[in-house]
Chain A
């Protein structure tokens, strides 16, 4: 893209600049979030007065404290700060909710969603891409279902399945399913089709065609679909957990409460920030995982 790629500074510069920007922003935030200690907020002009409060912008050290407490499940703090069972973090600690435990539960839900929804979606995509008749009959139904945001389904699903494990999983599976179908379908129909014709001309058929020609040709598209499905699965998981879960990161972010009024209770921003950072890290790690696995699987597509 840039005209003179050779003139770009080396990769080390890139890492360095990225690091610098993280450090700079964290430092700036630390200063800003601690400003209330120095300046009396009530003297400040309006938008700042509202913002510069520890309940809104938690000081960096409070976030670190929250992290330590959420990881250690209430291990006494070095500073000796006390916990109130009534507030967000106190409530979580009392229920023995930990950051790593919540992340694990959510990851488990995402993985189930990917495994079940992903394989169903790939199957449906393959069928629709493979057979024109199936495509023409099923596609309209698929479009109909795909258009419903998975989270809108949750109350209905709960009526059928009750308030348990499954009703949280169904929207996630559904979301992954709906996301994976289309890339698989296009992979098979638009790309693999050429190879399929060539292989048919060479006399291949049936299972051989499916396993040796169609799947490999469509797999880069399937993998791209799975990568996107991962993002969608996390989104849905956090959503259902916030709305109805009894555990997982979504629950940690909200701190429980009656589900119909859950989001109206003000949470502790320090806990929320810790939860979000945890989510970002796990999401990133899983994306790297899918990418590495995908590169292995599709090594034959040397471009």
Chain B
């Protein structure tokens, strides 16, 4: 339950227009606060600007107008305190799994022995023991996505931006990863923004679900999820869960 209500991320009237042959208005005035230790999920139709918003928060895009504040200071560029898992494949194919996982630590200047320890722990977390020395070409799409998530977790960022991290996983692994993420969040209390197409995943993990309108993206509705934690398989079948699911689907379905 999100008790401390300090604002970690503040988005004020964020508008983004992609210039080009045909200017695309991707975001049309999004205002959103994410509190410290809050788990926020964003769902919305394809092309509704979810990735655009996350990239703005991550610092890779400048909003056309509006501001994004992180801990009260405007975001000017990417930084390791905002760990970002890309929607597309971003695992470095020329590095072994071990080197991929350790890259953030290397960038931070963590000594080799310490790095090894953390990497070993992460390998265990994602269940890739025995693959430490493998190149990503030997991994399945889902496995490399997990490496990407773990790579971001390695440096223990305060904020996690996850853009459809589990889209490629099978149902079982996906639910396992969801539980891992849930556990991790409860243990380390990070601030998380999770973009997903999976409403169930959003409700299961988040404190709050934001539904986007079709392009140009705007917030259609916010739903607070007050299901008790820790959540489990039982949660997924509880009447409260199903009621939330129904109400979100209704919002999505409404034109």
Which A residues are within 8 Å of any B CB, using their own CB? 3, 6
Residues of A within 8 A of B60 (CB): 3
Task: Find residues 55-105 in chain B having any chain A CB closer than 8 Å to their own CB.
Answer: 60, 62
Residues of A within 8 A of B19 (CB): 6
Of all chain A residues, which has the CB nearest B60?
A3
CB distance from B107 to the nearest CB of A (A): 15
Interface of B is mostly: loop
- CA separation between A3 and B58, bound complex, in Å? 13
Residues of B within 8 A of A6 (CB): 19, 62
Of all chain A residues, which has the CB nearest B19?
A6
Of all chain B residues, which has the CB nearest A7?
B62
- CA separation between A40 and B168, bound complex, in Å? 76
Could you list 3 examples of A-B contacts with CB < 8 Å? A3-B60, A6-B19, A6-B62
**3 tightest Cβ-Cβ pairs between the two chains A and B:** A3-B60, A6-B19, A6-B62
CB distance from A3 to the nearest CB of B (A): 8
- CA separation between A3 and B19, bound complex, in Å? 16
Residues of B within 8 A of A3 (CB): 60
CB distance from A256 to the nearest CB of B (A): 54
CB distance from B208 to the nearest CB of A (A): 32
- CA separation between A6 and B60, bound complex, in Å? 11
CB distance from A1 to the nearest CB of B (A): 14
CB distance from A8 to the nearest CB of B (A): 13
Of all chain B residues, which has the CB nearest A3?
B60
Residues of A within 8 A of B62 (CB): 6
CB distance from A302 to the nearest CB of B (A): 14
CB distance from A2 to the nearest CB of B (A): 12
- CA separation between A3 and B78, bound complex, in Å? 11
CB distance from B7 to the nearest CB of A (A): 28
- CA separation between A187 and B40, bound complex, in Å? 49
- CA separation between A3 and B60, bound complex, in Å? 8
CB distance from B58 to the nearest CB of A (A): 12
- CA separation between A58 and B118, bound complex, in Å? 66
- CA separation between A3 and B55, bound complex, in Å? 13
CB distance from B81 to the nearest CB of A (A): 18
CB distance from B65 to the nearest CB of A (A): 15
- CA separation between A3 and B62, bound complex, in Å? 12
- CA separation between A252 and B53, bound complex, in Å? 63
- CA separation between A252 and B60, bound complex, in Å? 56
- CA separation between A38 and B134, bound complex, in Å? 68
CB distance from B82 to the nearest CB of A (A): 15
CB distance from B76 to the nearest CB of A (A): 11
CB distance from A55 to the nearest CB of B (A): 52
Task: Find residues 159-175 in chain B having any chain A CB closer than 8 Å to their own CB.
Answer: none
- CA separation between A70 and B62, bound complex, in Å? 57
- CA separation between A29 and B19, bound complex, in Å? 43
CB distance from B148 to the nearest CB of A (A): 19
Of all chain A residues, which has the CB nearest B78?
A3
- CA separation between A21 and B62, bound complex, in Å? 33
Of all chain A residues, which has the CB nearest B77?
A3
- CA separation between A268 and B154, bound complex, in Å? 66
- CA separation between A6 and B20, bound complex, in Å? 11
CB distance from A4 to the nearest CB of B (A): 8
- CA separation between A6 and B17, bound complex, in Å? 13
CB distance from A34 to the nearest CB of B (A): 49
- CA separation between A6 and B62, bound complex, in Å? 10
CB distance from A261 to the nearest CB of B (A): 52
CB distance from A10 to the nearest CB of B (A): 13
- CA separation between A6 and B19, bound complex, in Å? 10
